[in-house]
Amino acid sequence: YRREQRTSCAAHTTEIALGVLGNSITVGVGTVNAKRNCWPALLQSSLGPRYRIINRGVRASRADLATLCCLELFQGTLPDQVVVDYSFTSDTPQMLALVDRLHSFGVHTIVNLFCQHPGWLHLMRCTAPSENTTCMRKPLNSSIRAYFGSSLDVRGPPGLPLRRKPLAEQRTQAQQEILSQLPPNIRRRAIHLMWWGAHAISDGHIFEQDEGLHAAVVAAWHRCIFGPATNPFCQPNIELAGRLRRIVHTYQHTQSNVWWHASAAVAAGNCIADYNIWGTIPGVMQRITPYTSNVASLDYHVGELTAWAGHPNNLGHRLIAEPVAQLLEHWCPVGRLASNSSRIDDTICTYGSRVSSLIHLSEGFQRVDVADGRTGGVAATHSGARVQFRLVSRNLKEGFLTVGYERGWRNKGVVGRISCLSPCACQPIEMDAFNTRSFTGTSFTTSVWVQLKASGDGSYECMVEGRVMSLVEGRLMLQAMTLAAPFAGNRSTLVQVGGRGLSPFLETTTDGQTTAF
């Protein structure tokens, strides 16, 4: 697909609208002056007037919000191209569902794969875990930096002209001896990290040296090498673990440039390998969708820890924007994709504090407006509160009802229920608003099939009730009301929040084909 999609961008003279869908990283949390230094803004500065960047990032959101509400997010007018920036908070099925959703509207899509700084890299670089981050800031020679910007880069996976066999043939007898003594699963992981590390930095020579093999083995086996020797998993190979620990300490004290280069390459390979294992890379390539990543810059900027944090700093946002800009210099699809969505209004979505406009009756629920890119809604703080929403569609006689709600660690013992009121019919939905992790964000309920009733003006409507069943502390906040028909041809399904249970909302049509959204 590289040959099909790589074209000359010089011929494009009309403005291209490029949308960005993402979470708090897209919004710019972690930067100084987010409006100017978030990566979509940096991308606008880099691309110039040929592109108009439309940033529709929503804090504490996942790809399921954008899948259901992409039309609402873009205020009814879809851009020519969209960058999906949800890899840090969403699982693979969620992101692929969003890609399929955009493709169903004919929108060309790019997926950005964000790579974090792995914690074990600090152990590989520093002589003691208690040391501060200054031991991470050893300057590297910029000449060793190779750049893999996107899947259209001929040096990047899967086009890098490297093969596993040459890497294996270059190993010395001592290297083969170390590999042979490792537990089989650790050996496979180490070889896997070397392979993907060579891809990520576009350089296989580093893994022909001892430092490269040692870095891959230490990364694959870091729990035993840096952890307690009493771990039963480490016992059969405790002597080898101790030897590797001493080798690492030698590299740390000598401050070997090759060791720093090798450990960065392994960290980069670790991220790309995980995206491959999770199915993200195969999924986007199956959909003829290019992807970008900040991974190669880990080699050169590895000492800048906050550039690789969950909320990266200004430098981290520049490292995200650069490969996207490079990709767009060589990837200029013309026109729209073939659309399999007959109507653009086959989904109803109202999210944020605007859900209050749907209220027909409220007892204990109040509108909540929030700032800083977060999502508002309507909320109640006591058990027994209820709210009724009136959903109206010009076209949908039936479809999938999905409700977004706040799920956070402060909402203790908060359980809600969604039900349809007669003559509209659906199965009731339970909501547990408590999150065991210290994170608050928008979650979506399981989707249920709803049959709407005809109204006098020729439209269709459904009355949906939300009720607080129990509440110990916190609130139940409803943040999105969505109603969608299934789309033929999509290969993904909408999934429950955070991949906590994939929900196959499939329907078989009269001709035997399966449809999903």
The C-alpha atoms of residue 168 and residue 183 are separated, in whole angstroms, by 18
pLDDT at 515 over 50: no
Residue spans per domain, the chain? 119-308, 347-484
What pLDDT, on a 0 to 100 scale, did the predictor assign at position 99?
Answer: 92
pLDDT confidence band for 363 (50 / 70 / 90): very high
With 0-12 / 13-18 / 19 or more C-beta atoms within 10 angstroms meaning exposed / middle / buried, residue 141 is exposed
Half-sphere exposure of 95 (CA within 13 A, CB side): 30
Supply angle C-alpha 217, 221, 224, rounded to 5: 135
pLDDT of residue 27: 93
- The reported pTM is 0.81
What tens digit of pLDDT does each residue of 344-353 get? Answer: 556 788 989 9
pLDDT of 311 above 90: no
Which pLDDT value is given to residue 388?
A: 97
Per the CB < 8 A criterion, the answer to whether 448 and 429 are in contact is yes
Higher pLDDT, 247 or 366: 366
Instruction: Output the pLDDT for position 3.
Output: 45
Helix, coil or strand: residue 109 = strand
Task: Tell me how many degrees the CA angle 305-311-315 measures, rounded to the nearest 5.
Answer: 55
Could you tell me the sign of the dihedral formed by the alpha carbons of 94, 372, 56, 290, in that order?
negative
Q: How many CB atoms lie within 10 A of CB 12?
A: 13
Q: Worst-scoring range by mean pLDDT, 138-152, 168-182, 214-228?
A: 138-152
- Number of C-alpha atoms within 13 angstroms, CB side, residue 112? 31
More confident residue, 9 or 480: 480
Q: What angle do CA 450, 452, 455 make, to 5 degrees?
A: 170
Distance between CA atoms of residues 477 and 405, nearest Å: 6
pLDDT value at 410 more than 90: yes
Using DSSP bridges, classify how beta strands 291-293 and 108-113 pair: parallel, antiparallel or unpaired: parallel
**Rg for the chain, CA atoms, rounded:** 25
pLDDT of residue 74: 93
Q: What is the mean pLDDT of residues 113-141?
A: 66
- Contact at 8 Å (CB) between 517 and 507? no
Given pLDDT bands bounded at 50, 70 and 90, which one contains residue 502?
very low
Domain 347-484, classified CATH 2.60.120.260, yes or no: yes
Q: Which two tokens stand for residue 475?
A: 């609130």
| Residue 300 DSSP one-character state | T
**Torsion angle, alpha carbons of 136, 142, 144, 148, to 10:** 90
| Mean pLDDT, residues 377-404 taken together | 92
Q: For 254-293, what is each residue's pLDDT tens digit? A: 777 888 888 888 888 888 888 888 889 889 988 889 998 8
| CA 32/CA 14 separation, integer angstroms | 33
pLDDT of 147 > 60? The answer is no
% of the chain surpassing 90 pLDDT:
29
Q: How far apart are CA 405 and CA 419, in angstroms?
A: 14
Higher pLDDT, 254 or 20: 20
Place of tokens 């909408």: 494
Helices (H), 11-152: 24-27, 34-37, 39-47, 63-73, 92-104, 119-125
pLDDT digits (tens, 9 = 90+) for 476-487: 999 999 988 765
Confidence of residue 148 (pLDDT cuts 50, 70, 90): low
* pLDDT of 155: 46
**Average pLDDT for 249-254:** 84
**Cα–Cα nearest to 462, from 392, 395, 399, 361:** 392
